[in-house]
Amino acid sequence: MGKDAVLRVEDLHKSYGKLKVLKGVSFEIRRGETKVIAGPSGVGKSTLLRCINLLTKPDKGRIWLEDVEITKPGININKIRQRIGFVFQEFNLFHHLKVIDNVMIGLTKVKKLPKDEAFRRAKEALLAVYITEDLWYKYPAQLSGGQKQRVAIARALAMDPVIILYDEPTSALDPQLVGEVLQVMKELAKKGVTSLVVTHEIGFALEVADELMFMYDGKIIERGPPKEVVFNPRHEITKKFFEKVGRLYGERR
């Protein structure tokens, strides 16, 4: 495990019945880095993320979180998940809990922190994503999509994870709400929160990502600094995928 590496994924395979979704994925993320995975839909990007926090069990391959091999049998999965933040495409905020309770429940029930300490941390996390006090006592159903997703980020952030995984965080949002969520993600990335983001938002990758990994047919076929992968790719497939994007963001060599 390289020094300062927070996450290491080695040769991950996953099949659903006859369909092989991950065909040997490997990469590493160091502390403070932000990496983006992009690619056509259905190539297994979501599956990859869910394998990392073991919501899905990989068929083959190993994963390390800091120095712990989390794919080893007998490991306490729940303890591991406390250190990995996960932001879902469909937010998945707890419907029956107010915003503040959504963020606090992981701290009180899972981390077993005293209530006032949990409240303090929750406050911090919510303010970091620009959710102000007037929203704290509302229910998720009363919030806009962008607000919900920011609360979801706060919920993950409050657990003080070593890495946050974002699974297409803006795909379920109306276009005008995407910006506020990306803004928060960019700020967190710049602050040094280690992040792995699956997204179609190439602008985000170009702005803050340390590396862009292009995934196709279950494998990462190209990786490197975002500007290179997008505007100067080596493979034809990569070229084709980012063609349209290149036109959008202007060709830069």
Partner 1 sequence: MTFWEEFLPALFKGVLTTLEMLAIAAPASVALGILLGTLRVYGGRVTSLIATAVVVTFRGFPLLVTLLLLFFGLADLRIYLTPFWAAVLGFILCSGSYQSEYVRGAIRSIDIGQSLAAKAIGMTKFQEVMYIILPQAIRRALPGISNEIIYMIKYSSLAFVVGVQEMFAVGKHFNSIYFRPIEIFLTLAAIYLIMTTTATIFFKWLEYKLRIPGIEMGV
Considering the complex, state which of residue 45 and residue 208 has its C-beta at the smaller distance from partner 1.
45
SS (H, E, C) the chain: CCCCEEEEEEEEEEEECCEEEEEEEEEEEECCCEEEEECCCCCCHHHHHHHHCCCCCCCEEEEEECCEECCCCCCCHHHHHHCEEEECCCCCCCCCCCHHHHHHHHHHHHCCCCHHHHHHHHHHHHHHCCCCHHHHCCCHHHCCHHHHHHHHHHHHHHCCCCEEEEECCCCCCCHHHHHHHHHHHHHHHHHCCCEEEECCCHHHHHHHCCEEEEEECCEEEEEECHHHHHHCCCCHHHHHHHHHHHHHHCCCC
Residues 137-166 that bind partner 1 (CB under 8 A): 139-142, 155-156, 159
Q: Which of 106, 145, 146, 169 binds partner 1 (CB under 8 A)?
A: 106
> Considering the rule CB under 8 A, would residue 29 count as an interface residue with partner 1?
no
> Considering the rule CB under 8 A, would residue 55 count as an interface residue with partner 1?
yes
In the complex, the smallest distance separating the C-beta of residue 52 from partner 1, rounded to whole angstroms, is 11
Considering the complex, state which of residue 63 and residue 84 has its C-beta at the smaller distance from partner 1.
84
Q: Which of the ranges 15-23, 35-43, 133-141, 195-203 carries the binding residues for partner 1, by CB under 8 A?
A: 133-141
d(CA 30, CA 163): 10
Considering the complex, state which of residue 99 and residue 206 has its C-beta at the smaller distance from partner 1.
99
Q: Which of 68, 105, 162, 221 binds partner 1 (CB under 8 A)?
A: 105
Please tell me the count of residues contacting partner 1 according to CB under 8 A: 30
Considering the complex, state which of residue 197 and residue 205 has its C-beta at the smaller distance from partner 1.
197
Considering the complex, state which of residue 87 and residue 202 has its C-beta at the smaller distance from partner 1.
87
In the complex, the smallest distance separating the C-beta of residue 50 from partner 1, rounded to whole angstroms, is 8
Site string for partner 1, 73-102 (x = CB under 8 A): -----xxxxx-xxx-x-xxxxxxx------
d(CA 87, CA 169): 7
Q: Which residues are near partner 1 by CB under 8 A? A: 53, 55, 78-82, 84-86, 88, 90-96, 105-106, 109-111, 139-142, 155-156, 159
